[in-house]
Amino acid sequence: MEFMKDRHKWSLILAGFFFLGVCFCIGYVYRISGQVLLHDNTSHIATVMYGGITVVLVSGSLAIWLAVYKWKEAAISDHDSILLGKPGWKTDENIHGPAGIRQAPAGGNEQTGEAGEGHSLESGIALFNDALERKRIELEIQHQNKKITESINYAKRIQSAILPNMRLIHRVLPQAFILYKPRDVVSGDFPWFAQVKNEIFMAAVDCTGHGVPGALLSLVGYFLLNDIVRSRGATDPGKILDLLDEGVSTTLRPSEDAGTKDGMDISLCKINLERREVEYAGAHRPLYVMREGVLEEIKGNRFPIGGGIFKNQTNFTTYRIRLNSGDSIYFCTDGYCDQFGGPEGKKFGVRQLRHIIAKAHALPMNEAHLVFDEQWETWKGDQKQTDDVLLIGIKF
């Protein structure tokens, strides 16, 4: 309708009529205010006054209605422009959401008319749907992260259940410590302890990988060791590692085609306190012996548990060491020596480990534990932990 298209002009005209009507009524009332109203002119005066008042009310009401209608339409139009895009506005491809709407350059989209409005509406709807989809994906990721975190924390509780209790260890080995630092929530390294009659078995096991994969493999190693020593009755460390290698290879079924090298490195000691004798077998891990103030290193075999067949691989060797009172032994996984740090960002190294052993040997083992920990933490500094760390020390 032409009237509705020109409603702004008509609102101004009606506002003028309203103003004139008000002036007319005021002037006429002022004119007759000092006169005596006679009976024969009462109807004439009333007609004029009522007519003026009618003009005032009608024109004023229409003017107010048109003004309010125009204001409401402008408010709705501005709101829709923000949500869906307005002709003359467009979205930046690299900016999403309401903050990504910017003014189109001058001269753009002047000849498209209604087609431009339809395009802006479609763009606004697409932007809104894109924002909803991003929010849905964000909430889904948060939900999945929460589930994963809860699962890993539960896995940590399960892995903690297989770790040896230091109170039980101190009953038979009062001068012993275990320095254990997982890199992630769960660890591929684990200490293993078992006592069968008068014989004590202690091992530091380093499974392939760390985190969840390493933790899963650690459960395999833990139950295999328990089965070999407790159920099958094996006591010789070399024989135990042979059976462990067989069990890991059978369980993991390594395939040359798949290129899997999953396995573990291990230092295993059998301790007889009555004879002060230690029997040791190692897969890629050494044993450090501090005997009468002299540090010795027994390297063990140079092939791991599982991980396929290696060149020149034989059965694992058992080494027997007689110790005196005050002597001590240390064995660890490679995470302790492989930590990067220091002023030049180098590895901690075996040389520093040997130096700390020589320095801490005379200390009680609870104090030596702190020395090993503090020296390693100082070297690590602000560097990220490279691998899981496990170090075991025992004094006789």
pLDDT for 308-346, tens place per residue? 666 667 899 999 999 999 999 999 999 999 999 999 889
* Size of the chain, expressed as the number of residues it contains: 396
User: 218: which 2 tokens?
Assistant: 């650690």
- The answer to whether 279 and 235 are in contact (CB under 8 A) is no
- The answer to whether 63 and 11 are in contact (CB under 8 A) is yes
pLDDT of 293: 87
Q: How large is the average pLDDT for residues 247-254?
A: 82
- The answer to whether 341 and 348 are in contact (CB under 8 A) is yes
Residue 152 CA from chain centroid, whole number: 12
pLDDT of 335: 94
With residues binned 3-state (H G I as helix, E B as strand, rest as coil), the percentages for the chain, rounded to 5, are: 50, 20, 30
In this structure, are strands 199-207 and 189-196 parallel, antiparallel, or unpaired? antiparallel
- CA–CA dist 396, 391 (Å, integer): 17
pLDDT of 133: 87
β-partners of residue 96 are none
Residue 387 CA from chain centroid, whole number: 19
- The answer to whether 254 and 308 are in contact (CB under 8 A) is yes
Percent of the chain with pLDDT over 70: 67
CB 304: neighbour CB atoms within 10 A?
23
CATH number of 163-395: 3.60.40.10
Q: How large is the average pLDDT for residues 381-387?
A: 92
In sequence order, what are the residues at sequence separation of 6 or more whose Cβ sits closer than 8 angstroms to the Cβ of residue 383?
A: 339, 340, 341, 345
pLDDT of 375: 95
Residue 368 CA from chain centroid, whole number: 35
For the stretch 175-204, pLDDT in tens is 999 999 999 889 999 999 999 988 999 999
User: 37: which 2 tokens?
Assistant: 């109203």
Dihedral pair phi/psi, residue 369, rounded to 5°: -55, -45
Q: How large is the average pLDDT for residues 368-378?
A: 96
DSSP helix/strand/coil, 392: strand
Among 9-23, 139-153, 270-284, name the one with the lowest average pLDDT. 9-23
pLDDT of 246: 92
- Which band of pLDDT confidence, cut at 50, 70 and 90, is reported for residue 85? very low
Q: Is the pLDDT of residue 138 over 80?
A: yes
Note the pTM of the prediction, 2 decimals: 0.66
Q: How large is the average pLDDT for residues 69-88?
A: 47
pLDDT of 82: 43
Q: How large is the average pLDDT for residues 164-184?
A: 94
Q: Is the pLDDT of residue 16 over 50?
A: yes
347, 349, 353, 354: CA torsion to nearest 10: -160
Q: How large is the average pLDDT for residues 218-234?
A: 94
β-partners of residue 196 are 199
In sequence order, what are the residues at sequence separation of 6 or more whose Cβ sits closer than 8 angstroms to the Cβ of residue 267?
A: 203, 204, 280, 282, 285, 286, 287, 300, 331, 332
pLDDT of 355: 95
How deeply is 218 buried, as exposed, middle or buried, from its count of CB atoms within 10 A (0-12, 13-18, 19+)? Answer: buried
User: Which conformational region is residue 133 in: left (phi greater than 0), alpha (psi within -120 to 50 degrees), or beta?
Assistant: alpha
Q: Which of 327, 235, 331 is nearest to 282 (CA)?
A: 331
- Which band of pLDDT confidence, cut at 50, 70 and 90, is reported for residue 127? confident
Average pLDDT along the chain: 79
Q: How large is the average pLDDT for residues 222-238?
A: 95
CB 88: neighbour CB atoms within 10 A?
16
For the stretch 271-310, pLDDT in tens is 998 888 999 999 999 999 999 889 999 999 998 998 766 6
pLDDT of 151: 86
- CA–CA dist 349, 354 (Å, integer): 9
- CA–CA dist 211, 185 (Å, integer): 7
User: 327: which 2 tokens?
Assistant: 């002597």
